[in-house]
Amino acid sequence: MSKNRRKALALLAGTFCTGAVIGAATAALAVKADKPEAIPVFVEKPMPVVMTINEQDELNTYTPDPEEVELIGRTIWGEAKGVKSKAERAAVAWCILNRVDKWDKTIEEVVTAPMQFLGYTPEGECPQEHLDLAADVLTRWNAEKEGAENVGRTLPADYLYFYGDGERNHFSIEWRSGIYWRWTLTSPYITK
């Protein structure tokens, strides 16, 4: 059995993930690809009920920190400005927040860490749509931390790395592991 096959089976057997996707589902939804182009194109589809009314009310009372919105919005702009799917752009924010949770760091420490998010720049243009997306993901993340389920994650909690090819970002649990996220979570950004 190849090393990558053993790694995939180990992931399938023991991956732990919070949020909308749990353990084995995470690994089962990843794909082994020698070339990222082998990953199926993500198709956004309508989101079922994401949160109960009470959870939605709590969600509406949270206001994200403007500095964190700026940090994440600028990172989304720098790392995914050519990505068409809003859910895939949101995954950049979820990747940042996954690292915050996993490594007990601040958003600023994660975004500005050397050689990590090279697309981030504190200067220059950042379209409002990227700032709005950052605020939305931060609000969903906060709701998840407060115990809400199915908040509309576009990336499972154990995906910490990605690299881009100019059109898409390819997310993985381990850096360049060859096992990439297949975009199987339902997008919260599509309306009926």
The residue-averaged pLDDT of 145-149 equals 92
Is 33 inside any structural domain? no
The answer to whether 167 touches 82, Cβ cutoff 8 Å, is yes
**Residue 128: Cβ within 10 Å count:** 8
Structural domain contains residue 164? yes
Counts for the chain of helices (H) and strands (E), in that order? 7, 4
Amino acid making up residue 47: M
* Domain of residue 111, residue span: 67-180
> What is the total count of domains within the chain?
1
Task: Report the candidate in 184, 154, 176, 161 with the shortest Cα–Cα distance to residue 35.
Answer: 176
Classify residue 57: in a domain, yes or no.
no
User: What's the gap between Cα 11 and its chain centre?
Assistant: 19
Give the model confidence (pLDDT) of 78-131 as tens digits.
999 888 899 999 999 999 999 999 999 999 999 999 999 999 999 988 999 999
Query: pLDDT digit string (tens) for 8-64?
Result: 333 333 332 333 333 333 333 444 444 444 444 444 443 443 444 344 555 558 899
Residue 11 lies in a domain: no
- Asked if the structure places residue 84 within a domain, the reply is yes
The token pair that represents 165 in the structure block: 């090819």
Tell me if 87 sits within 8 A of 186, measured CB to CB: no
Q: Do the domain assignments include residue 82? A: yes
The reply to whether 149 falls in a domain is yes
Joined tokens for residue 9: 């089976």
Give, in degrees to the nearest 5, the angle at Cα 162 between 160 and 164. Answer: 165
58 in a structural domain: no
CA distance 107 to 99: 9
Residue 76 clears pLDDT 60, i.e. is over it: yes
